[in-house]
Amino acid sequence: MRILSTVRTFLAFVFRRPRVEREMEDELRLHLQRRADDLEQQGLSRAEAERQAQVEFGGYQRYKEECHEALGTRLFGELIVDVRYGLRQLRRSPGFTAVAVITLALGIGTNTAIFSVVNTVLLTPVHAPEPNRVVAFITTSRRGSSSSFKFPNASEIKFNLWREQTSVFQDVSGYRLDSLILTGDDQPQQARAIFVTADYFRLFGLPIAQGRTFTAEEEHPNGGSVVILSDAFWKRAFGADSQIVGKIISLSGSSYEVIGVMAGGVQTETLEPPDIWMPFPIDPNSNNQVHYFQAVGRLKPRVTIDMANAQLQRTTQEFRRKFPHALSTSRRETFIVQPMQDVLGKDVRSSLLILTGAVSFVLLIACANVANLLLVKGAGRRREIAIRIAVGASRGRIILQLLTESVLLSTAGGVFGLGLGVAGIHTLLALNPSHIPRIGPRGSNVTMDWRVLSLTLLVALITGLLFGLIPALHASRTDLNSGLKEGGAGTGSGFRQNKTRSLLVISEISLALLLLIGAGLLMRTLIALRSVNPGFDPRNVVTTRTPLDPPLAKVSGVDQIVHNVFRRLSVLPGVESAGFTRLLPLAGDFNSVPIIVVGRPLNGPSHGSARRMVVSASYFEVLKIPLIRGRLFVDADRLGAPGVAIINEAMARQFWPKGDPLDSQIFIGKGLPWLDEPARQIIGVVGDVHDNALGENPQPAVFVPAAQLSDARTAGIPVTWVIRTRAPSPSLNSAIQNELRQATGVPVPPLRSMEEVMAQSTARQDFNMLLMSIFGGSALLLAAIGVYGLMAYSVKQRTHEIGIRMALGAQKRDVFRMVIGQGLRLVLAGLAIGVAAALILTRLLSSFSHLLYGVRASDPATFVAVSLVLSGVAVLACYIPARRATKVDPMVALRYE
Amino acid sequence: MLGNGIRAHADVLPGTLDLLILKAVSLGPLHGYGVLLRIGQISKGALAIEQGVLYPALFRLVRQGLLKASWGASENNRRAKFYQLTAAGRRRLHKETEGWNRLVAAIGTVLGTQPEEI
């Protein structure tokens, strides 16, 4: 109530102020006139009567003020006066205002930028009704501990058990992404497909614009060939055909009936929005153990995560009884659910936290700088403030007025910062999307919503108070006598003030050092990653991905497509060799399959798992993966010939630490229905390749020749072509693309160089490093400005002293050294504090996995290099003031007072 | 009527101005100067206040909801702001009057006490 009435008074004050003012004036005037009339009647002259009326009334202005106070509008009145006065002050010194606003815009803008990403990735609720009931299924090793192993993928046997837990889950849905080829009268084109089980649409509340969703029958294996189009795909591929529902379309060689079109603008929590939705039939009696999709669920009303996890604990026991070998017992694996929102942002949470810390440091430095500017300015305003105190302003009133000025500055900084931040982050995300989840294509989901807006305003307000408080306290402490007498001259403006300013500059330097060390460590990480030998030669290799689909290629078998591709490419001048693989190194997820070594006891520990790679015979030659022992695949290794396999060194080390792998036969994926095949003879060992990430150690891998798989296992499945050229050339690329198009009969995505693929694999580290460098650079610049400002001011203040020194025989050299020395002392103090803080804080950096690679958090080289750079810049910032000090003319300086 | 009373007599006790205003207005709507006149009139010039003090008090009473202000024409047809008692104002006047009477009675008793009565 109280607040409401204050707000009402304030609004009335703002909007009706002139009227209230006028009415008050009218009322008081009327009183004076009536009194004068009465006095006149008593016999006074008019002039005399009016004077007498004034006297009887008392202090007219004072009572008017009191009336305002009685109305509760005095505080607002003062505020408006302060704001007007502040604006006038700022306008009077445009240089100062510009520097302060730019500094603040930089500080606040970087915070807006990072927060807008944090907001989109971590804070925006899952796009679903009642989003906090949406959970993701995870297989984990131990509950609670953050460093524990977490596996987000689902297998059919796990999924079937999960969806039976209807006591805690309302919906459980599995989904997986794939890429299909749409063919028709037009050019064939790629379609991003998402296969979803029945509950998906209800779970995410996806609205259908036309037609319907899948029926229960269509969700069964062999239930029906139906498809739902996205609004965008319906417009793009079918020209928004209003008769589309019921039509038959051809996807990767099979016919599907279009049963619906999704509403426009739906948000899905996938990295890229899907073009088509298709049923994902999962056999309830399946014993497929491959982890090839993901599962989400919706908790029943009033069921908590803990309740669901308690239930899943029991489910895990049941699962162990049913499938004794499917879970690793050594890791004590168990099923859990986590809020979908936490899972979506988990990859980038640590980087975003670090970046948030970094930008708050930048803001602190900006604050310190502006505070310093204000201190200097405050020294020049001592006379003005002394006068105001002399005419009766209270100390609180002065502080309030100065704070109003600093909040005005920070608000202006905030407004510019908001624009700067939002525009800046969009530019950066467009340049480098860096696989950040949820930000949309080129960062389009990162928008300025109420949260970003209010945080920016709040930051601006706090910033204004933060940097304004110390200078305001200082200024209000002005001693009346000296303030008026000195007339604002530079002498003796306070030892205390200089100490404050020095402390501010020292803290700026230490904060800048922290940021620069962070940037330095990330830079070293990137350099270390870039210099990792990937295990293959990426130069002059281009890649692209197409399915091998005989009907689309209008041939009878997969081997014919492959043959045609190789034949067509071999005639292109400039193509050296060509091959293909199902999974390209550094470009995606790898799944491990169980490996059993023939002849070893079945329940012994000597088996394990390895990544299974299906490749063409020429794959190793194209990527120049070295053969260590044995032989590579040859054309004779085809269907019908004895099964062969090649392993990598990591696998040889793990499975045959002493013996010879070339004597052995192995079962690959034994027990997996889709992989059931006879044992294969190991014929060769090749060098290790960093498949997963440059920063991760190569895992055991086994290579299988594609030619030894039947068409039933290969037809329609996409492969990635790898083509080595003699020299990179764009025209050759389009020729290659064209030949592939002719041979495979499907659209061919643009070619990428293998070097691009490698660079892409470190995109996120790139992004972190780029941002950290921008922040570090800003910090360095701001700190340099801070040092310069302090030294320049100090030299000006000490002109008199320097004059005396020179008169007494000090050389220019000595003066120069004295000034530089003074600056250097500050810098060294800042460095010492910064290094100490960095040793603590960088440990945090290394505690987040994947942030640092190939460099220790306390890397001495980084610390030394950064300290040198910072001191160098700081000394440079002292140089101009020092030079100015040497130019002091003793005669002028002594007369100066 | 207001005469010289304005300067000649004792100051109004602190806190009693509001009560006087409420009482004056309770006898019929008045503008500011009218309030002053009526207080002078009914006190027979015995109570004096500095005239300007009246207005902050009037504004305060309006804000507290005890008085209601409206613009109208004064006796000589000038635009003037008239004050009127609200229901809350009437209740307050009643309460304060009782309080005042009790206080005066009590203080009167105390001051009238003779030595032999103790």
Q: What is the pLDDT of residues A200-249, one digit of tens each?
A: 998 998 888 888 888 878 877 777 789 999 999 999 888 888 999 999 99
Give residue-wise pLDDT tens across range A430-485: 876 667 778 877 777 888 888 888 989 898 999 888 888 888 888 777 666 665 65
Residues A468 and A401 in one domain: yes
Establish if B81 touches chain A: CB-CB under 8 angstroms: yes
pLDDT at A610 over 50: yes
For residue A600, being part of any structural domain is answered with: yes
Q: What is the pLDDT of residue A894?
A: 72
Tokens at residue B56, please?
A: 């902050």
Stated length of chain B: 118
Q: Which of B33, B57, B71 sits opposite A31 (nearest CB)?
A: B33
Residue type, A709: L
Query: Which pLDDT belongs to residue A331?
Result: 56
Distance from CA of A71 to the nearest CA of B (A): 6
Cβ atoms of residues A557 and A716 within 8 Å: no
The per-residue pLDDT for A72 is 67
In this structure, the answer to whether residues A449 and A594 fall within a common structural domain is: no
Together in a domain, A560 and A688: yes
pLDDT for res A704: 94
**Would the CB atoms of A34 and B2 count as touching at under 8 Å?**
no
Residue A131 one-letter amino acid: P
**Residue entry with tokens 């304060």:** B96
Q: What percent of chain A stands above pLDDT 90? A: 31
Best mutation site among B51, B54, B66 for testing chain A: the one with the most A CBs within 10 Å? B51
B79 neighbourhood in chain A, CB within 8 Å: 26, 30
Q: Residue A5 and residue A578: Cα distance in Å, rounded? A: 79
Q: Shortest CA distance to A446 belongs to which of A114, A766, A109?
A: A114
A443 and A567 part of one domain: no
- Confirm whether A343 is domain-assigned: no
- Together in a domain, A386 and A524: yes
Quote the DSSP letter at residue B9.
S
pLDDT at A15 over 70: no
Residue A544 lies in a domain: no
Distance CA A502, CA B54 (A): 55
- Tell whether the model's pLDDT for residue A23 goes beyond 90: no
**CA distance linking residue A27 with residue A45, whole number of Å:** 23
From A31, A62, A71, residue closest to B51, measured CB to CB: A31
State whether B33 and A66 contact (CB < 8 Å): no
Q: How many domains does chain B have?
A: 1
* B6 has pLDDT over 50: no
In chain B, whose CA is at the least distance from the CA of A69? B56
pLDDT number for residue A889: 81
Q: List the single residue in B with minimal CA-CA distance to A66.
A: B56
Interface probe with B: pick from A1, A2, A30, A32, most Cβ of B within 10 Å: A30
Tell me whether residue A341 is in a domain. Answer: no
SS3 of residue A311 by DSSP: helix
Query: What b/e sequence results for B76-88 when a residue is b if at least 16 CB atoms lie within 10 Å of its CB, and e otherwise?
Result: eeeebbbbebbee
Q: From B5, which residue of chain A is nearest by alpha-carbon distance?
A: A56
With contact defined as beta carbons under 8 Å apart, do A157 and A286 qualify?
yes
Q: Does B113 touch chain A (CB under 8 A)?
A: no
Task: Categorize the per-residue pLDDT at A339 as very low, low, confident or very high, splitting at 50, 70 and 90.
Answer: very high
Task: Provide the token pair at A243.
Answer: 């008769």
DSSP string, A417-473: HHHHHHHHHHHHHHH--TT-TTS-GGGTT----HHHHHHHHHHHHHHHHHHHHHHHH
**In this predicted structure, what is the pLDDT of residue A145?**
45
Q: Which residue has the higher pLDDT, A637 or A852?
A: A637
Structural domain count of chain A: 4
Contact A60 B57 (CB under 8 A): no
Strands A226-229 and A254-262 come out as parallel
Q: What is the distance between the alpha carbons of residues A38 and B71, in angstroms, rounded to a whole number?
A: 22
The total of other beta-carbon atoms located within 10 Å of residue B4's CB is 10
At residue A216, the pLDDT reads: 78
Contacts of A573 (CB under 8 A, 6+ apart): none
Q: Please state, in angstroms and rounded to a whole number, the distance separating the CA atoms of residues A112 and A356.
A: 10
Domain check: are A837 and A889 in the same one? yes
What pTM, to 2 d.p., does this model score? 0.74
Residue A15 corresponds to which tokens in the numbers above?
Answer: 């909007």
- How far apart are the C-alpha atoms of A795 and A806, rounded to whole Å? 14
CATH of the domain at B30: 1.10.10.10
ipTM above 0.85, yes or no: no
- The single-letter code of the amino acid at A590 is F
Whether pLDDT at A488 is above 80: no
Taking the C-alpha atoms of residue A61 and residue A28, their distance in angstroms, rounded to an integer, is 11
pLDDT at position A479: 66
| Residue A70 pLDDT level (bands cut at 50, 70, 90) | confident
Q: Is A378 domain-assigned?
A: yes
Q: Give yes or no: residues A526 and A559 share one domain.
A: no
Which residues in chain A are contacts of B63 at CB distance < 8 A? Answer: 70-72
Shared domain for A515 and A658, answered yes or no, is no
CA distances (Å), origin A61, targets A24, A58, A64, A66, B53: 11, 9, 5, 9, 12
pLDDT surpassing 60 at residue B10: no
Report the alpha-carbon distance of residue B13 to residue A894 in Å, rounded.
65
Q: Evaluate whether residue A117 is within a structural domain.
A: no
Question: A741-759: string of b/e by CB count within 10 Å (b at 16+)?
Answer: bebbbbbbeebbbbeebbe
Q: Are strands A752-753 and A718-725 parallel, antiparallel or unpaired?
A: unpaired
Give CA–CA dist A871/A879, Å, rounded: 12
**Looking at A745, A772, A795, which one is the last position of a domain?**
A745
Residue B60: domain span: 5-117
Q: A175 - beta bridge partners? A: A196, A294
HSE (side-chain half, CA atoms, 13 Å) at A310: 7
CA dihedral A49, A50, A56, A58 (to 10 degrees): -170
pLDDT at residue A490, rounded to an integer: 45
Looking at the fold, whether A308 and A457 belong to one and the same domain comes out as no
Domain contains A144: no
Q: Do A30 and B51 touch (CB under 8 A)?
A: no
Helical segments of A531-588, H only: 550-553, 558-570
Q: Residues A807-836, buried b or exposed e (16+ Cβ, 10 A)?
A: eeebeeeebbebbbebbbebbebbbebbbe
Side chain identity at B49, as an amino acid letter?
Answer: I
- B72 near A CB under 8 A: no
- Structure letter (DSSP) for residue A337: E
Distance (Å, whole) CA A263 – CA A231: 6
Are the beta carbons of A695 and A851 closer than 8 angstroms?
no
Residues 6 or more apart whose Cβ sits within 8 Å of residue A604: none
Residues paired with residue A278 on neighbouring β-strands, in sequence order: A195
Q: What is the C-alpha to C-alpha distance for residues A537 and A577, in angstroms, rounded to an integer?
A: 13
CA–CA separation, A637 and A742 (whole Å)? 27
Q: Is B14 exposed, middle or buried (0-12, 13-18, 19+ CB in 10 A)?
A: exposed
**Closest CA of chain B from A34, distance in Å:** 7
What distance in Å separates the CA atoms of residue B83 and residue B93, rounded to the nearest whole number?
15
Mean pLDDT of A150-163: 87
Task: Compare CB distances from B59 to A30, A62, A67 and report the shortest one's residue.
Answer: A67
* pLDDT for the residue numbered A1: 46
Cβ distance of B52 and A30 shorter than 8 Å = no
* Contact between residue A786 and residue A718 where contact means Cβ atoms under 8 Å apart: no
What are the residues facing B11 on neighbouring strands?
A: B48
Report the share of chain A in percent with pLDDT over 70.
Answer: 91
Q: Is residue A374 part of a domain?
A: yes
Q: How far is B94 from chain A (nearest CA, A)?
A: 23
Q: Which DSSP letter does residue A229 get?
A: E
Do A888 and A830 lie in one domain? The reply is yes
CA-derived radius of gyration, chain A: 37
> Mean pLDDT of all residues in chain A?
85
Mean pLDDT check: name the lowest of A479-493, A499-513, A732-746: A479-493
- The pLDDT-based confidence of A148 (bands split at 50, 70, 90) is low
Whether residue B80 is predicted with pLDDT greater than 70 in this model: the reply is yes
Closest CA of chain B from A76, distance in Å: 17
Contact A63 B55 (CB under 8 A): yes
Whether A597 and A494 share a structural domain: no
Domain coverage including residue A21: 2-72
What tokens appear for A679 in the block? 């044992």
Question: Of A276, A303, A330, which marks where a domain is finished?
Answer: A330
- Note the maximum CA span of chain B: 62
Q: pLDDT digits over A749-761, tens only?
A: 889 999 988 988 8
**Please, which residues bridge with residue A723 across strands?**
A542, A578
B83 neighbors B58 (Cβ within 8 angstroms): yes
The DSSP result for A163-202, as a single string, is TT-TTTEEEEEEEEEEEEEEESSS--EEEEEEEE-TTHHH
Smallest Cβ–Cβ distance between B56 and the set A30, A33, A63 belongs to: A63
pLDDT tens column, A266-301: 888 887 789 999 998 888 888 777 778 899 999 999
Q: Do B81 and A23 touch (CB under 8 A)?
A: yes
- CB–CB of A794/A502 below 8 Å? no
| Pair (A379, A482) in one structural domain | yes
Closest listed residue to residue A875, CA positions, set A810, A795, A783: A783
Task: State mean pLDDT over A705-724.
Answer: 88
Residue in chain B nearest A5 by alpha carbon? B63
Mean pLDDT score, A568-588 = 90
Residue with tokens 């890397």: A859
Q: What is the pLDDT of residues A674-714, one digit of tens each?
A: 677 889 999 999 999 998 888 888 889 999 999 998 888 78
A646 and A702 Cβ atoms separated by less than 8 Å:
yes
Q: Closest approach of chain A CAs to the CA of B16, in angstroms?
A: 17
**Distance, CA of B104 to CA of A49 (rounded, Å):** 38
The top-scoring range by mean pLDDT among A46-50, A103-107, A337-341, A621-625 is: A621-625
Say if residue A311's pLDDT is above 90: yes
At CA A409, angle to CA A406 and CA A415, rounded to 5?
Answer: 140
- Burial (0-12, 13-18, 19+ Cβ within 10 Å), A55: exposed
Residues of B in contact with A60 (CB under 8 A): 52
Q: How far is A460 from chain B (nearest CA, A)?
A: 35
Query: Coil, helix or strand for B30?
Result: strand
Q: Which residue of B has its CA nearest to A34?
A: B33
Question: Hey, are the CB atoms on A70 and B60 less than 8 Å from each other?
Answer: yes
3-class DSSP assignment, residue A488: coil
